[in-house]
């Protein structure tokens, strides 16, 4: 979270202290500023290492099952869904379990930073995180998937009241979470999907969010191997790797790797969804208002898969309907089977495709 959760979230309490030396991988230029902006507490302070006595389980990757053969236009399928809010700054690097997500939304939050909303269904890793606070935009994003389990680390009273009105099953702290002694607070709250799903009383299989997967391509499309965009304090790019048949994400120049495997994350389809944004009544401890992304309506869309790009539009008439993705000729854009990332980009923000 970015300091907007002073009431409910149970991040490690602390008083201002001298920050210990960070791990070498976090010694990038500007990472300290980003970490401070993203701190989770009722007052600004530098992250500190947890002294919790909770024993962290040894993370292990859960092998992905053999993919089910995909026919043209097949919607997202899988087992019970677990959605989770994951930090997306240098302080949380490397993130755990993200390679197993079926869908990842890159969502703007306070101070020009971004956060991930990860959807797990086809495969559940043993550990996910670092888990951070929820946002009101999550209600409409998750509504497409049904009353699914949603893991996050709390939120302000204002945000929690909005999340309580959603259809998702909120798991805001408690059983299924633990503190990782090898990470700095507040970037050390990790989740155990099996325990979280059990705590939620199970979950539902994914309803239809609107993505259509097929090994075949939508006609047309132009060659393209890279997409890049930048929020105020977060730069995101994904580059196509022909050998692996995947796009590899980088955030602020760091390759996205999964802490469970040490391997670079591969993305089969990248969707850039241009959205209208507004400011919430919620503010963080610095008085900065929370941006809200509006995913009900319509707008421009860019889809990259298989080293090609399609431009078109997205449309979602209501919270109860799936989002459709169509090219400029009106044809439905087919997504590649495999992990899919959606970049939620405010209208007017530059997006470069090459």
Does residue 17 surpass a pLDDT of 70?
no
Asked if the structure places residue 324 within a domain, the reply is yes
CATH number at residue 305: 3.50.90.10
Question: What are 18-45's pLDDT values in tens digits?
Answer: 333 333 333 333 433 333 333 333 333 3
Task: Report, as an integer, the average pLDDT of 69-81.
Answer: 77
pLDDT at position 287: 80
Task: Report, as an integer, the average pLDDT of 188-210.
Answer: 97
Instruction: Look up residue 159 and give its DSSP letter.
Output: H
Question: Using 50, 70 and 90 to split pLDDT, how confident is the model at 2?
Answer: very low
pLDDT at position 56: 54
Q: Which domain holds residue 341?
A: 222-353
Does residue 46 surpass a pLDDT of 60?
no
Asked if the structure places residue 114 within a domain, the reply is no
Does residue 219 surpass a pLDDT of 80?
yes
205: left (phi over 0), alpha (psi -120 to 50) or beta: beta
For a pLDDT cut of 90, what percent of the chain falls above it? Answer: 75
Cβ distance 193 to 124 under 8 Å? Answer: yes
Does residue 15 surpass a pLDDT of 80?
no
Asked if the structure places residue 13 within a domain, the reply is no
Asked if the structure places residue 105 within a domain, the reply is no
Question: Using 50, 70 and 90 to split pLDDT, how confident is the model at 140?
Answer: very high
Range of weakest confidence among 52-61, 89-98, 186-195, 233-242: 52-61
Task: Report, as an integer, the average pLDDT of 318-344.
Answer: 97
Q: With a threshold of 0.75, does the pTM exceed it?
A: yes
For 98-154, give the DSSP string: GGG-SEEEEEE-GGG-EEEEEEE-S---S-BB-B----THHHHHHHTT-S-EEE---
Counted domains in the chain? 1
pLDDT at position 1: 41
Helix (H/G/I), strand (E/B), else coil: 56? coil
Asked if the structure places residue 309 within a domain, the reply is yes
For a pLDDT cut of 70, what percent of the chain falls above it? Answer: 80
Asked if the structure places residue 242 within a domain, the reply is yes
Asked if the structure places residue 250 within a domain, the reply is yes
Average pLDDT value over all residues in the chain? 85
Does residue 269 surpass a pLDDT of 70?
yes
Does residue 282 surpass a pLDDT of 90?
no
Asked if the structure places residue 244 within a domain, the reply is yes
């Amino acid at each position: 979270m970015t300091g907007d959760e002073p009431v409910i979230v149970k991040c490690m309490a602390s008083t201002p202290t001298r920050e210990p030396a960070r791990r070498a991988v976090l010694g990038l230029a500007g990472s300290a500023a980003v970490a401070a902006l993203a701190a989770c507490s009722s007052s600004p302070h530098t992250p500190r290492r947890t002294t919790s006595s909770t024993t962290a389980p040894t993370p292990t990757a859960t092998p992905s099952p053999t993919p089910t053969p995909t026919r043209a236009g097949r919607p997202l399928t899988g087992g019970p869904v677990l959605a989770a809010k994951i930090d997306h700054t240098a302080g949380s690097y490397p993130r755990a379990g993200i390679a197993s997500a079926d869908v990842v939304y890159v969502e703007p939050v306070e101070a020009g930073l971004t956060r991930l909303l990860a959807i797990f269904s086809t495969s559940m890793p043993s550990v996910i995180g670092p888990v951070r606070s929820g946002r009101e935009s999550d209600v409409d994003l998750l509504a497409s998937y049904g009353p699914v389990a949603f893991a996050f680390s709390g939120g302000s009273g204002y945000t929690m009241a909005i999340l309580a009105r959603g259809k998702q099953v909120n798991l805001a702290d408690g059983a299924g979470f633990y503190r990782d002694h090898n990470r700095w607070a507040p970037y050390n709250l990790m989740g155990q999907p099996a325990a979280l799903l059990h705590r939620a009383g199970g979950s539902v299989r994914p309803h239809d969010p609107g993505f259509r997967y097929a090994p075949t391509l939508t006609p047309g499309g132009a060659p393209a191997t890279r997409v890049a965009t930048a929020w105020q304090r977060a730069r995101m790019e994904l580059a196509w790797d022909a050998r692996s048949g995947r796009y590899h994400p980088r955030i602020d120049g760091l390759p996205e790797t999964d802490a469970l495997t040490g391997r670079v994350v591969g993305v089969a389809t990248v969707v850039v969804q241009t959205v209208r944004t507004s400011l919430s009544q919620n503010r963080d401890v610095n008085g900065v208002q929370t941006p809200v992304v509006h995913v009900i309506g319509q707008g421009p869309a860019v889809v990259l898969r298989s080293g090609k790009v399609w431009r078109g539009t997205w449309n979602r008439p209501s919270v109860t309907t799936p989002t459709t993705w169509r090219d400029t000729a009106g044809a439905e854009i087919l997504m590649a089977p495999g992990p899919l990332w959606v970049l939620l980009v405010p209208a007017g923000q530059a997006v470069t495709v090459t």
